Amino acid sequence: MGPLRGAQRSVIFHSRLAFRSSFQRMTLPLVASRLASSVAPKLKDPSLLKTGVCYVDGEWVKAASGKTFNVYDPATGALIGASPEFTGKDTEKAISAAAAAFPSFRTKTGREKAKLLRRWYDLVVENADDLAKLITWENGKPFADAKGEVNYAASFFEWFSEEAPRLYGDSIPATVPGNRVLTIKQPVGVCGLITPWNFPAAMVTRKLGPALAAGCTVVVKTPGEAPFTALALAELAHRAGIPKGVVNFVTTLEHTPEVGETLATHPTVRKVSFTGSTVVGRLLMKQASPTLKILSMELGGNAPFIVFDDANVDAAVAGAVASKFRSSGQTCVCANRIYVQKGIYDEFAAKFAEQVKRFKVGHGFDEGITHGPLIHNRAISKVEAHVRDAEQKGAKIILGGQKLPDLGANFFQPTVITGMTKDMAMAGEETFGPVAGLFPFTTEKEVVDLANSAEVGLAGYFFSQDLERITRVAEALEVGMVGVNTGIISDTASPFGGVKQSGFGREGSKYGIDEYVNIKTITLGGMNKPLQS
């Protein structure tokens, strides 16, 4: 996914839309109230912005070729800076550094690793404002959201600093007289971590925290669209005293497939953790198969969000707004198919649209902005295609539905569409944008069947006040995570991951560290001799 381009200028845009059925005419203030600043944000610590270099073996280095790629502000199209265009050969040097660091790092005690992670956590918290500025600058999300992401990102270092000393094994009663069976947990080795652009801090720390707590060393492939947040984290790792070679950060844009293949095929890399699309996940699995790597993958989603007649409608509206429009709809657990039972469909749609109408779209650094741009022009094209497809097949756009060229090339109106049906593209594809399609349904079985019809199964949500229904539906949904009467499910303490073609493995929680360890069984024989006199 490439960076957005586009100029931005001051505009107040009012879209007057015919609101059919029982709905009233509404306007949508899709606005930026003033000209978005084209001036680069000022960091308290400018040395956190690392341009032209990657972090390998404890040093800041350039690509062997000297080539770089440009990174642009998705809101304004302005150049932020350049990062090294690493190749597979460059990445191999990072893998070698991680391999050289592993024998020493793996022997550190849990408490020693905990102290390193805690120092890294403290530095992230101390520099939270600058990290948030980098996120908004290269990702586009509003500054308030970016600050929330930094706190979330830091929490994984804190959580796994507490898990590091607690890699407990077991003593297992053996069936053979005189034998004793023990298990210990050992780090898997060098890990390749491939992270996405939509959470350029949190998706890095969610993988790094457990890897280091387990005693692994890593090579992080940062997203080409948003590399500078991850590189700032690398600088803070250096300051925290993380030993050289333990963490290595590489950047690339043009050679992304080559670098990914290097991590997936290199025999020294024992595990790959990937967050991204299902298509790329399948490719990495194929590439990793000859070396039988351990894999964990958090892939695409198409989350159902179900509102039953017995739900608290106002709470359901708030939950749907939070789930659907977080980061302008660019999260893997966003509500993508909103199913509303017919008895409350009109009421829900009217209240939902009223909430969305209050959004303020613009540059993430501007005061009061609730939603920023999409990440690149391909994202805009997909969102528009989904809207036009629904419109052509009989759905009604009751709010939004258009690009916002006066704000910039990568802005799209927060959109609400009613009368959705299962033959529309949005029913089967992840939109990854600020478009909410509302599907009517009649029965519980009908909606669960519709929800489970997707080939993916990452997250699902539903609102109901019927306790029996809550149990039935939560267990019936074919997803890895279920939010009941809430639209937000991300929590450091909660295991994150999916089923079906949304991948496998879990991140965060007490289970997250298990993805980075092997269980070794030790059988002790001859333990039944009598006591010596």
| Per-residue model confidence as pLDDT tens digits over 364-418 | 999 999 999 999 999 999 999 999 999 999 999 999 999 999 999 999 999 999 9
User: Could you tell me the two tokens for 176?
Assistant: 């053979």
Predicted confidence band of residue 21 (pLDDT cuts 50, 70, 90): very low
pLDDT digits (tens, 9 = 90+) for 39-87: 679 999 999 999 999 999 999 999 999 999 999 999 999 999 999 999 9
Beta bridge partners of 361: 371
Q: Determine contact, residues 470/361, Cβ cutoff 8 Å.
A: no
How many residues are given for the chain? 533
Say how many C-beta atoms besides its own lie within 10 A of residue 205's C-beta. Answer: 28
| Greatest Cα pair distance in the chain | 96
CATH architecture of 14-36+301-484: 3-Layer(aba) Sandwich (3.40)
Strands 180-187 and 170-172: antiparallel
Say how many C-beta atoms besides its own lie within 10 A of residue 59's C-beta. Answer: 13
Over its C-alpha atoms, the chain yields an Rg (Å, rounded) of 24
Q: Is the pLDDT of residue 24 over 60?
A: no
Mean pLDDT of 214-229: 98
Q: What is the pLDDT of residue 9?
A: 27
Q: Is the pLDDT of residue 436 over 50?
A: yes
Distances from the Cα of 15 to the Cα of 61, 400, 413, 424, angstroms: 50, 7, 9, 24
Q: Determine contact, residues 310/468, Cβ cutoff 8 Å.
A: no
Q: List, as one string, the DSSP characters of 217-247.
A: EEEEE--TTS-HHHHHHHHHHHHHTPPTTTE
Mean pLDDT of 156-169: 97
Q: List, as one string, the DSSP characters of 429-443.
A: S---SSEEEEEEE--
Domain ranges of the chain: 14-36+301-484, 46-299
Closest CA to 447 of 420, 485, 416: 420
Mean pLDDT of the chain: 93
Q: What is the pLDDT of residue 60?
A: 98
Q: Is the pLDDT of residue 27 over 50?
A: no
Predicted confidence band of residue 20 (pLDDT cuts 50, 70, 90): very low
Say how many C-beta atoms besides its own lie within 10 A of residue 445's C-beta. Answer: 11
Q: What is the pLDDT of residue 40?
A: 78
Q: Is the pLDDT of residue 483 over 60?
A: yes
**What CATH class has 46-299?**
alpha beta
Q: How many whole angstroms from its chain centre is CA 432?
A: 12
Ramachandran angles phi, psi of 172, nearest 5°: -115, 125
Q: Tokens 């992080």 appear where?
A: 220
User: Could you tell me the two tokens for 531?
Assistant: 């006591």
Distances from the Cα of 151 to the Cα of 119, 148, 269, 412, angstroms: 15, 5, 30, 28
For the annotated catalytic residues, the residue numbers are: 298, 332
Q: What is the pLDDT of residue 39?
A: 62
Q: Determine contact, residues 524/180, Cβ cutoff 8 Å.
A: yes
Q: Tokens 């991948």 appear where?
A: 503
